[in-house]
Structure 1
Amino acid sequence: MTAGPWRAPRNATTCPGKTAAKWARRYQDEGIGGMYDRSSRPRHQPKKTPPHVVRTIVRTRLRQRLGPIEIGAKLDLPASTVHAVLTRCHLNRLTHIDRATGEQPRRYEHARPGDLIHVDVKKLGRVPDGGGHRYVGRVQGGKNRIATVNAGHATRGTSSNPRLGTCYLHTVIDDHSRVAYVEAHADEKKETAATVLRNAVAWFAARGVTVQRVLSDNGPA
């Protein structure tokens, strides 16, 4: 924004007198810098919930996982006040709290995309074309299984028990942005995992992201 001489707005004649005088006084005292919008938050809030009450509300929420109504009844406070405090402290949803310990989850996130990527493999059982027995029943599910194998979409076993096999989803997730790169394969061998990693690094590089570190579990691949 280029600073220049201040001009009154075209509708200045319709502005309330107090508002026009306020802006004129700001310009006289501070120049162009006084023309920017300012926060309307009051400087003093005498009715704001005291810090020790806020700590009690938060402590009760973390230890007992109660809602605003229960906490309000327990502490003799309005439920609306309790809800406002929980919202301000990012505790208004139980998903923000670890259910086992009652503590706020400790999360980490690298500063830039590519600083760290996570690699892992998710195994999923293949479903025959047209649906499996859990969805269409055993008779139709068996027909769908045989048809899928005959079509070459799965591994052939015995005629009575054709094998559909397992789908291995090789996933590569960027720690900062949570953007995921996924490839579906028929195995999780080390050669396959290495190929997926090279493809993922090239995919991120094509989008301006340089991979610096890789994190994986102690899987066989």
Structure 2
Amino acid sequence: MSHANAALTPRARLRLAQLVVDRGWTYAAAAKMFMVAPRTAKKWADRYRIEGPGGMVDRSSRPKTCPNRTRPEVVRQIVRLRWRQRLGPVQIAGQLGMQASTVHAVLVRCRINRLSHIDRVTGEPLRRYEHPHPGSLIHVDVTKFGNIPDGGGHKFLSRQQSRANGIATALRTGERGKHYRPLIGTAFVHTVIDDHSRIAYAEICTDEKAATAIGVLQRAVAWFADHGVTIERVLSDNGSAYRSYAWRDACAELAISHKRTRPYRPQTNGKIERFHRTLADGWAYARLYESTEQRNAALPAWLHFYNHHRAHSAIGGRPPVTRLTNLPGHHT
């Protein structure tokens, strides 16, 4: 396709060249008819004589050589500073004594112009993986949310009002902590997410002990089985519950292979860590809850929305349930 400012389209070029070559028109006469310069008419006529009608199409304007292109050793220095120190174009340009626009062009060409493409801890390019089918690997973890005092907490109310609500709740429950401070408590949300489909299962519990984690795993395996998914492997961090012999024996009874992440390397379990952030934004802190019970009651509906309706960017903008092709009733 010709560019927006082209005087001639490929069809018009062919007509001009045919007038000159086939009908004997002069360059000046043909150029006057098409309102171009005689030199342009000669160019297309010569190309028509050599290549025929196929020579009328646009050619690439990319130069064969680029003497001013950034030298390879400088490119390596820019990439090294970007990866190792995660510096921006201005900072890199200051260290190397060059223009920031040149540094930015190199980063774009190397596809590392966005820091989101680089691991924040190591500075290395992100290496993403995905298991081939549902159930091949599930991630398990626990996230914590503070319970909500009667009337609401500090996320939506003032500190003064939240403190008054906490005192009123402690008077009702009789729960007091150190120095007689109101003890509201903590909700331990045990989460399970499938690596391939990103479909999620969650339970709110009162602790994160091994017995509780095992119960969640057993119920999650049954829940996934109801959705036509057989669990093969489970990945966890190095929490005490997941290092216990009871957890090991429970995985063996369920015929599940257990793997743990490398210590101090939460990126390996990054899918469930990212789910926790979505869980906090979409459910735990999404609106004002006047009690912990009200927030707990909202979790099943939010999980259904997440699994069945919320578009997931990592799987092509579709909800996780669309990757469960063996759901009961899908093929009836």
TM-score range, shorter chain: 0.5 to 0.7
More helix by share: 2
CA distance in 2, matches of 1:43, 1:113: 46
Deviation at 1:150, TM superposition (A): 7.3
Deviation at 1:169, TM superposition (A): 0.5
Which protein, 1 or 2, shows the higher relative CO under an 8 Å CA cutoff with sep ≥ 6? 1
- Is 2:157 aligned against 1:157? no
**Paired position in structure 2 for 1:36:** none
- Conserved 8 A contact 1:129-1:144: yes
TM-score normalized by the length of structure 2:
0.43
Cα RMSD between the aligned structures?
3.9
- Structure of higher CA gyration radius: 2
**Paired position in structure 1 for 2:166:** 145
TM-score normalized by the length of structure 1:
0.60
CA distance in 2, matches of 1:112, 1:42: 46
Pick one of 176, 196, 219 that aligns with 1:199.
Answer: 219
Matched position secondary structure for 2:241:
coil
CA distance in 2, matches of 1:16, 1:51: 39
Pick one of 116, 125, 146 that aligns with 1:104.
Answer: 125
- Is 2:136 aligned against 1:136? no
Deviation at 1:168, TM superposition (A): 0.7
Distance 1:75 1:118, change over 3 A: same
- Conserved 8 A contact 1:156-1:164: no
Matched position secondary structure for 1:163:
coil
Which runs of 5 or more residues in structure 1 are unaligned?
1-14, 22-39
Deviation at 1:92, TM superposition (A): 1.7
Pick one of 210, 214, 218 that aligns with 2:234.
Answer: 214
Matched position secondary structure for 1:118:
strand
Matched position secondary structure for 1:199:
helix
- Is 2:108 aligned against 1:60? no
Matched position secondary structure for 1:182:
strand
CA distance in 2, matches of 1:80, 1:49: 12
Distance 1:173 1:42, change over 3 A: farther
Pick one of 63, 68, 92 that aligns with 2:113.
Answer: 92
Matched residues, number: 184
Amino acid across the alignment from 2:152: G
CA distance in 2, matches of 1:86, 1:215: 35
Percent identity between the two aligned chains: 55
**Paired position in structure 2 for 1:122:** 143
**Paired position in structure 2 for 1:33:** none
Amino acid across the alignment from 1:83: H
Amino acid across the alignment from 2:193: I
Amino acid across the alignment from 2:234: V
**Paired position in structure 2 for 1:175:** 195
Distance 1:191 1:65, change over 3 A: closer
Distance 1:74 1:215, change over 3 A: closer
Amino acid across the alignment from 2:111: H
- Conserved 8 A contact 1:169-1:184: yes
Deviation at 1:122, TM superposition (A): 1.7
CA distance in 2, matches of 1:124, 1:96: 30
